[in-house]
A = this chain, B = another copy of it.
Amino acid sequence: MTEHTEEVTPPRLENRTLREQVCAHLREEILSSRLAPGTELSEVAVAKTLGISRGPLREALGQLAAEGLVTITPRRGAVVTKFTRQEFIEAYQVREALEVLAIKLAVPRLTDAQRSRLHALADAMVEHAEQGDTRAFFESNKEFHRLLVVAAGNERLREMHEQLANQMGRLLAKSLELRGSIDQSVAEHHAILEAIDAGDARRAARLLEEHIEVPYRVLDSPEADELFDPTPETPLSGEDK
């Protein structure tokens, strides 16, 4: 409960270290899809572009690699992470488990303000769905789930969930357009909300579990091909070079 709404976060006027600034900048670039998955990040090129040295940039790339946003291959450089379908499914499963934990922890702790905000977000999702605004629908949906995680009051859980949501978000943002069953999603959210209002954490968790389920349909759609790595699942022995 350190940050309620929007605190005056600034630690101290632009006293942030260069690594942090660069890290935040690149993170924003990646999450906004201005840097597409697979984009090569040459150290000298990026450093020159940002007008800094390679040192802080390397550290920033290291941190982003730890967050899973970039993939660093020793001696080969860094690229914006490109998931394989398998990796995406794995991340989705973990995210589901974290959200199930979150809703269990959150239900007994929810304040009236948080509960009404959940209702507002669910209503917004309905509206955006009717208007066919997939972008806005996606944002409300994301915020709905994020709020549940925040309400759980587990900072560690929040961080891990944020990382997963970030990594998958930029893919989901596009794949959502391929998804037809938005109406179903809306109904599911309302069902979850009912369980929350009733204070039934177990039922809410079960509904959420069913709600999240990996959207395999999206993964198999041909439009999603370019979003994923060509799955190098070729365990053919005898390829040591």
Contacts of A66 in B (CB 8 A): 62-63, 66-67
A contacts with B: majority SS: helix
**A-B pairs with beta carbons under 8 Å apart, 21 shown:** A1-B235, A11-B74, A17-B74, A20-B74, A59-B59, A59-B62, A62-B63, A66-B66, A66-B67, A87-B155, A87-B156, A93-B105, A93-B154, A93-B156, A94-B98, A94-B101, A94-B154, A94-B157, A96-B101, A97-B97, A160-B160
Contacts of A100 in B (CB 8 A): 97
- Interface residues in A52-107 by Cβ distance below 8 A to B read 55, 58-59, 62-63, 66-67, 74-75, 87, 90-91, 93-94, 96-98, 100-101, 105
Also in contact, A91 and B59, with CB within 8 A (given A66-B67, A98-B97):
no
The CA of A91 and the CA of B129, in the complex, are separated in Å by 37
Contacts of A63 in B (CB 8 A): 62, 66
The CA of A93 and the CA of B91, in the complex, are separated in Å by 19
Contacts of A98 in B (CB 8 A): 94, 97
Contacts of A105 in B (CB 8 A): 93
- Measured CB to CB, the nearest residue on chain B to A88 is B156
Chain A positions 129 through 161: 1 when the CB is less than 8 Å from some CB of chain B, otherwise 0: 000000000000000000000000011110010
- Measured CB to CB, the nearest residue on chain B to A56 is B58
Contacts of A75 in B (CB 8 A): 17
